[in-house]
Structures are given as C-alpha cells and as structure tokens.
C-alpha cells in the first residue's frame, strides 16, 4: 500500500510539473521582430516606421522605366520619438536586388523634430521581381528593420 501511494504521489508530482511548465507566459518568449510588410509598423530605437504604400509604374513624374524595369514608389510614415531632431535621407535605406545595391532615383534629406511624424517618399527604378526587400537603418548598426515588398 505504501508503494502505491508513493507511486501515485510521484505521478501527480510529474504531472503537476509538466502542467506548470506548459503554462508559461508566452509573451516573455516573444522574439524581436525585424521583418515587416506593407502597413506594418516597425518600432526601432527612437523611430516608428510604417511602409504605407508600394506602387509600381512604367512612368512616374519625370522618370520612364527602361525595358524590363518598373518605377517603384515607396511611401513611409516616419515618427521621431527621441528628444532630439533627427535626419532621414535616402542613405537611411538600402535596397539590394540579386546582390546589386540600388540607390533611390529621388529622395530628400528631411529633418524630423522630436515627436514629429512625416511622410517620406522614395523612388527607385528596379527590375521586375515578385518580391523586394528594403532595409531601414535606425542609426544603430544592430537595429534595422527589413520591409518585404510584394508586387
């Protein structure tokens, strides 16, 4: 009888431990997200960055795409949550396609005051692909956000 009670106690203890460890708060295990889609907000360092829209055209403003290319227009909402003014420019972004870097055809250098939000537009001429990846650099080397752009 003592052996069966001891055995039962061991089984209950093992079951309780398994149950308790299986009910952990999963939010504690959440990984830092680094890849975002259109309309997803990236919170990175002192920025909130959302790729609002990505459009592809044969012509835009003064630019006509070469054969096999498209003009890619990216519209971002960027908010500066720091205590200081920061600058955003085409150098804040990196687009690489098939191991070749692409510079924006048009981009401006914008100062963003503390707690201010701007709309920022980038224009690229790119080869026609199904998917593109653009990296936003926050200014801290290890903290970057990658935006996946689908056509």
pLDDT of residue 142: 67
Give the CATH class of 33-150: mainly beta
Reported as a single tens digit per residue, the pLDDT across 84-101 is: 999 999 999 999 898 889
Residue 112: how many CB atoms within 10 A of its CB?
21
Q: Where are the domains of the chain?
A: 33-150
Residue 116 or 26, more confident: 116
pLDDT of residue 2: 57
Q: Is the pLDDT of residue 143 over 50?
A: yes
- CA nearest 137: which of 148, 128, 145, 129? 145
Rounded to whole angstroms, how far apart are CA atoms 115 and 101? 32
pLDDT of residue 138: 81
Tokens of 38: 């259109």
Work out the average pLDDT over 25-40: 66
Reported as a single tens digit per residue, the pLDDT across 112-140 is: 999 999 999 999 999 999 999 999 998 76
Rounded to whole angstroms, how far apart are CA atoms 94 and 71? 16
Q: Is the pLDDT of residue 73 over 80?
A: yes
pLDDT of residue 22: 46
């Amino acid at each position: 009888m003592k052996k069966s009670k001891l055995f039962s106690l061991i089984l209950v203890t093992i079951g309780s431990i398994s149950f308790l460890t299986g009910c952990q708060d999963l939010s504690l295990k959440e990984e830092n997200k680094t890849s975002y889609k259109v309309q997803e907000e990236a919170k990175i360092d002192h920025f909130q960055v959302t790729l609002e829209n990505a459009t592809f055209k044969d012509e835009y403003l003064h630019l006509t795409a070469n054969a096999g290319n498209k003009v890619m227009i990216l519209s971002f909402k960027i908010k500066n949550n720091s205590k200081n003014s920061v600058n955003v420019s085409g150098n804040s972004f990196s687009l690489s396609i098939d191991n070749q870097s692409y510079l924006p055809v048009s981009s401006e250098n914008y100062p963003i005051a503390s707690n201010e939000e701007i709309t920022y537009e980038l224009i690229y001429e790119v080869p026609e692909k199904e998917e593109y990846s653009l990296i936003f650099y926050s200014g801290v080397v290890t903290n970057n956000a990658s935006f996946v752009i689908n056509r």
